[in-house]
Amino acid sequence: GQIASAFARMHRLDLRKLRERIRECTLEGESWSLKDLWRANPSPLGIVDLLGYIQIAHDDGHPMAADEWDIVEWSPPDRHGVTMRARVPRITFVPKATSRPSGRKPR
């Protein structure tokens, strides 16, 4: 009962969709902090997408401060009036060309 219901409510992490949001924000050559990107593109999935952004920052080489933090907030759609907060490393999403070490695609 309850376990099956919890699995039915789970949402799949879509890293491709999150990378597309990052690409759209940085398309004009500007860098965006995770906090600002989150504020501009709030996610109803909350922690699932937040962890996805952190994974992308790590995998794609975006700068991540080891000793600086930001607070991001969201309101889960199933918990009216509740604001969730998470402390995350300060991440800066940079345009794709500058995040790739060589600046070129591998052959």
Return the higher-pLDDT residue of 23 and 79: 23
CA nearest 38: which of 15, 21, 24? 21
Distance CA 56, CA 33 (A): 13
Which region holds residue 103: left if phi is over 0, alpha if psi is between -120 and 50, else beta?
A: left
Q: What is the pLDDT of residues 62-104, one digit of tens each?
A: 999 989 999 999 887 777 788 889 999 999 999 975 554 544 4
The average pLDDT across 38-62 equals 90
DSSP code of 44?
T
Token digits of residue 96: 């794709």
Residue 107 has pLDDT above 70, yes or no: no
Cβ 82 vs Cβ 76: under 8 Å: yes
